[in-house]
């Protein structure tokens, strides 16, 4: 038996597409946990736009699609009690003193940051930056984007009054309220890990005014309502807007259906993010040496993790083959990889050559040739090489995560769209020599939804939220196999890592 149903609207924006998802939480009688359901009501592409030498996000198109999701929720009869947005990290828009957006946000793969990280760290020192922020060094972090704009004499930066991360910016368009959400703010490499405040000394050293950045707002906070203009345009009431874990990885980790306090996770999609959840950051010299990150999580948690290039490499291989007139689906690529010879060649997925090349398959081949390995030729050989390399990289990162956290994990929780690739799930279990628990696929959207329910008082806390997710969404368990072969492959793979 069930009774009242409450629904919320989650917008989950990825690097290639976005979705509007309705979450429905249904009370059940007899003291049973509520049941949570998730339904996609709107999906849309998120294609970056090349303008001259620069790559930008089409932010006003994203706003339009968010509005379409709100409209479709109304048209389909949902009584939406709140809405929230999560997205990728590091990118931002600049707002002028008149409240207007000063140009389209740069895409994190744009080349205007080339070489800037090395310049900044050479001047300030990695130890200075990491000891304060605890954030992994990546060339597209917000800190280096701002430094690049400063060096280029950006007029937009000179005129800017406030900086808003992508979900903050879209919320501003919807509510008229400028707020900075904590989990996304933590990814900028400008926020102090221990205090949760902006590092004003770091900003001063970069020549960035501290007033550009708003004080971070805690995840799970109501930060406004839809403006009268948006309500009139869409024919909806002033729906409350919640700041959830707006970095999509923060939301994905919320949705990890772990029953134990100690767990390891892999959020697997365009990027792979592997780590664990802790009550405090790990700011040791070893964490710096291994280039781990301590991103802010919801409700006082930290995500000790490492970014891994992920299925971006597979996506870009497919795009290159399609551009050459060889149309192929992802399932066809996986099938071809299954039929290819195992353990023939490996790549380090995090080599810089794979960040944004013109021809990804050619880069894979060149890497193998340069490292004295057999060069993969067919599509199946290339994809097999990439997937095996990802699985082996997951093992390397998991082992380092355990050393930094001082813990041993029985297996790996795998969430996100990458779990649809069953071959990768099987390979990961075998590479780790431990079980992989795969699910749910819609991790970021689910995390977005349950934090809204916590903010509304309909779910008690994070522990209850994860219990509801476990009850509502089935998991697939993958057991390891071929231990000797995978262990031998791992020894070869480690020689490629710098």
Domains contained in the chain, CATH given: 2-243 (3.30.420.40), 256-441+460-498 (3.30.420.40)
The reported pLDDT for the residue numbered 454 is: 98
Owner of token pair 């207007």: 100
Structure-token pair, residue 197: 């405040």
The reported pLDDT for the residue numbered 478 is: 98
Q: Which residues pair with 302 in a beta bridge?
A: 278, 296
The reported pLDDT for the residue numbered 498 is: 66
| 92-96 and 2-13 beta bridge pairing | unpaired
The reported pLDDT for the residue numbered 1 is: 37
Candidates 153, 162, 9; CA nearest to 74 is: 9
The reported pLDDT for the residue numbered 29 is: 74
What string of pLDDT tens digits covers the 498 residues of the chain?
345 689 999 999 998 899 999 999 998 877 789 999 999 999 999 999 999 999 999 999 999 999 999 999 999 999 999 999 999 999 999 999 999 999 999 999 999 999 999 999 999 999 999 999 999 999 999 999 999 999 999 999 999 999 999 999 999 999 999 999 999 999 999 999 999 999 999 999 999 999 999 999 999 999 999 999 999 999 999 999 999 999 999 999 999 999 988 999 999 998 999 999 999 999 999 999 999 999 999 999 999 999 999 999 999 999 999 999 999 999 999 999 999 999 999 999 999 999 889 999 999 999 999 999 999 999 999 999 999 999 999 999 999 999 999 999 999 999 999 999 999 999 999 999 999 999 999 999 999 999 999 999 999 999 999 999 999 999 999 999 999 999 999 999 999 996
d(CA 352, CA 369): 16
d(CA 152, CA 121): 18
d(CA 234, CA 323): 39
376 membership: H or E segment, kind and range: none
d(CA 106, CA 102): 11
The residue annotated as part of the active site, out of 168, 248, 348, 350, is 248
Does residue 248 have an active-site annotation? yes
d(CA 250, CA 303): 8
The reported pLDDT for the residue numbered 204 is: 97
Say if residues 78 and 237 touch (Cβ distance below 8 Å): no
d(CA 369, CA 345): 10
């Amino acid at each position: 038996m069930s009774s009242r149903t409450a629904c919320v609207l989650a917008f989950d924006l990825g690097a290639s597409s976005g979705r509007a998802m309705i979450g429905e939480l249904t009370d059940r009688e007899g003291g049973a946990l509520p049941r949570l359901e998730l339904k996609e009501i709107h999906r849309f592409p998120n294609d970056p736009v090349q303008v001259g030498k620069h790559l930008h996000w089409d932010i006003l198109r994203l706003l339009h699609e968010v509005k379409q999701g709100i409209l479709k929720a109304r048209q389909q009869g949902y009584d939406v009690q709140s809405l929230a947005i999560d997205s990728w990290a590091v990118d931002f828009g600049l707002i002028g003193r008149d409240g207007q957006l000063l140009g389209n946000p740069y895409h994190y793969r744009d080349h205007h940051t080339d070489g800037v990280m090395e310049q900044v760290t050479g001047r300030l020192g990695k130890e200075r930056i990491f000891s304060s922020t605890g954030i992994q060094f990546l060339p597209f972090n917000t800190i280096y984007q701002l430094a690049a704009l400063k060096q280029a004499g950006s007029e937009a930066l000179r005129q800017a009054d406030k900086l808003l991360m992508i979900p903050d910016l879209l919320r501003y368009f919807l509510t008229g309220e400028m707020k900075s959400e904590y989990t996304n703010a933590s990814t900028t490499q400008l926020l102090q890990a221990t205090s949760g405040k902006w590092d004003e000394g770091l900003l001063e050293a970069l020549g960035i005014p501290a007033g550009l950045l708003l004080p971070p707002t805690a995840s799970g906070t109501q930060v406004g309502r839809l403006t009268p203009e948006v309500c009139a345009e869409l024919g909806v009431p002033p729906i409350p807007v919640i700041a959830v874990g707006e970095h999509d990885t923060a939301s994905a980790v919320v949705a990890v259906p772990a029953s134990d306090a100690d767990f390891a996770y892999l959020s697997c999609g365009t990027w792979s993010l592997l780590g664990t959840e802790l009550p405090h950051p790990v700011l040791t010299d070893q964490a710096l040496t291994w280039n781990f990150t301590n991103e802010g999580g919801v409700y006082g948690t930290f995500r000790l993790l490492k970014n891994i290039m992920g299925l971006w490499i597979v996506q870009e291989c497919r795009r290159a083959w399609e551009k050459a007139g060889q149309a192929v689906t992802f399932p066809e690529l996986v099938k071809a990889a299954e039929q290819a010879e195992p353990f023939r060649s490996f790549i380090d997925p995090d080599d810089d050559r794979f960040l944004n090349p013109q021809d990804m398959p050619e880069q894979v081949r060149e890497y193998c040739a340069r490292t004295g390995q057999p060069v993969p030729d067919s599509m199946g050989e290339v994809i097999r090489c990439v997937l095996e390399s990802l699985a082996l990289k997951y093992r390397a990162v998991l082992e380092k995560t355990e050393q930094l956290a001082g813990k041993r994990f029985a297996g790996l929780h795998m969430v996100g769209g990458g779990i649809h690739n069953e071959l990768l799930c099987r390979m990961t279990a075998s590479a780790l020599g431990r079980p992989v628990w795969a699910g749910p696929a819609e991790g970021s959207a689910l995390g977005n939804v349950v934090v809204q329910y916590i903010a509304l008082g309909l779910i008690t806390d994070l522990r209850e939220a994860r219990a509801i997710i476990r009850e509502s969404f089935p998991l697939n368990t993958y057991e390891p196999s071929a231990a000797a072969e995978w262990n031998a492959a791992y020894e070869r793979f480690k020689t490629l890592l710098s």
